[in-house]
Structure 1
Amino acid sequence: VKVIAKVKINGKEYGAICNITIHPKLYQTALKIESNKKEMIAGETCFLKAYLFVNVGSWVPLANKTIEWKFIVGNDTIIKKTKTNAQGIAKIPFFYSNALENITAIIEANFPRNLSGDIDYDGSKANLTLKIIPEKPGDFPVVLIHGWVGSISDALLNFTWYNLTQKLIANGFKVLDFDITKPGIQWLTYEPNWGEHHIPWIAAKVCDKIKEALILNGYPLNQTIDIVAHSMGGLVARFMAEHYMADVDYWNDNWNGTGYPWYGDGDPDITIGPYQIDDLIVVGTPCHGVPPNINETLLKTIIKYAFFPWWMAQVPDMIYNSPFLQAMGYKTIDLIDYYAVGGDIGIGEEVDFDGDGIPHRSDGLCPTESPYLEGRPLFILVGAAWPAGEEDHLSLIGINDTVHQYIMKHLIN
């Protein structure tokens, strides 16, 4: 800073100049980061913590400050920001799924120098490395979640999952067994009394069943899983992935669009979430809903649904613009890999949910593009209903080998 002093005495001006250097009073900071893993399989979620301290005569935690994270994996760079809590700790999950070979992630945390506040802090940095190894079949158990009334009979359940299960096992995948006391793979089923409840409530019960099956099969409760879901099962799985720790005991029939229509007793019910789910692959899932005027004769003859009680709670959840679908929205989160499959048998109104200008009809029940979520891939198969084709709602998941190969491909890549 240049200081100039001037004075006029008896008409004569006198002056002097001096330069002053001002140094900010910078408080020294220190940053440390740690990871719960030194090595992870692609598709797992790693949890990182940054600890920020400031020296004010002694080292104390520095709260409510922004930590800038940089994740460098090969040619990919991911930038995130988090804030420290009252203990000076900032937490962040790290998810990376598509490693084709062993690769090292460089993780950097930075607290930039801050000269704009009431107190000025010097910056600090920390880094660590994390080894990522490619996923191989069998690393994560595959959970198969069927759709609405999917377990109403053994025949329907077997048709839905038998062929895919045999192919998964033959290719080295492990399908989660929900009853190890019986021979063969026993799939997840819904209980008869679930029918009167909405999808969030069912998702909570599915979480309980998955955790029980993990324990019975010798896995830890936090085991990473892949999910393949059919029809409404995809909405159940999406709810788990997108509303971790939600409290869902009750439903508000008078919901006005504020908050969520589900609520609870204060105890979280959704206990499996995005940190535990790697891939979510859905087939014929009505993420955008189904029309309210589906032909029941068509359902009975082509789709083989013998009974379709529209008043049951989950069915209104799946109608276009239902409160449930409005609350869910039409995009998912970054912590899972989401893939969708839709069938078009030339029946129903044309709709263009993915916005590519090419509308499609339906698989006989679910509009072809209804599984689409913003920015995520949608694989469309155009054909006919069985026996002329395998692109109808049930055949897509039950017997369509193209769909099965797509599923196995994306469970790894």
Structure 2
Amino acid sequence: MTQAPRTLNERDGLALLDQLRDWAHELGFSQIGVADIDLSTAEPGLLAWLQAGFHGTMHYMQAHGLKRARPAELVPGTLRVLTARMDYLPRHLDASDATPAPDGAQDVATAASTWQTVEWQRLGDPHAAQVSIYARGRDYHKVLRSRLQKLADRLAAAIGPLGYRVFTDSAPVLEVELAARSGIGWRGKHTLTLHREAGSMFFLGEIYLDLPLPLSEPVTGHCGQCQACIDVCPTRAIVAPYRVDARRCISYLTIEHEGAIPEEMRPLMGNRIYGCDDCQLVCPWNKFARRAVVDDFDARAGFQQPKLLQLWAWDEAEFLKRTEGSAIRRIGHERWRRNLAVAMGNALRWQDDAEMRATLVAALPQASPLLAEHIVWALAAGSSPYFLTGEALA
């Protein structure tokens, strides 16, 4: 990273950490913590997860090996990892809650009876297109990275030359492990970070530092005997407490997976076209989820209450325009339509829809082989007469 390791006496370190907390709050972060770089106890679990093949086609997970658990190997000179939490629950998540509470504060009972209920209702509407809450606004990578950079710049301006590197789900970093060790929260049984006063609806970011800041106290877990997240998972991707098989996870299938979605998974996806929030919706701790304090995570036009046919109507140019600066753009138009085709097949299975069926049939002649496979499946799933008579393949 930089020059010889710095030193900090306890008093100066604590004062600097208090100042960092103030700066972080000004930048929209809800909490920061400091973790040590010794993650050796996390290595066996990481290796077992990789050896089981639970990472699917995310080959970069295996390519980096144990660097994920060794911050000083990833960024030489690292002495501490500053972790940061930014709440992302949109301020205007549904029409019944149009007025955001100041500074992200909210009435817990009201929150639990509005946004979670609305999300469950949309999951039960076969014609609705369900996009994961975090992806409806601006790409969180862009938001957190720029604000973490500003936080690091302020630190460097205050103390002089500093060795650091900023990460936001952008490198082989054990984010949840670092968050747990720095007091941001504990690892839930769904493997996400949980906070007693903020649930799990937040993003994580890190700054690897060559500065020996005082460490934060970790917190204990509070999942107890609850396994609501395990029971609710549509594809049974949470194969054991604290263990997820990504190959079965709808978030992985709709975002990370590039090829054909396994047929046995398609009926289980329902109307989820980008990501899945079920394990968070059911989690009791998310009655404490906080609204975002930045407007970047407000849902964009087109993603507030979209319908499947509405999103299918976007050609590639429209898709690129609508998803500019969004995390969704990275999957591309073909995979976007692949996901929509699966959801439309599930909608047809639920209830016949002549317009939806005709739309799929019309798209088939120009479809790529990948998309054509999913369109044919969708028509068959809805017991389409076009498929059964062979007209869809003509």
Give me the TM-score of the superposition, normalised by structure 2.
0.24
Structure with the higher helix share, 1 or 2: 2
Give me the TM-score of the superposition, normalised by structure 1.
0.23
Structure of larger gyration radius: 1
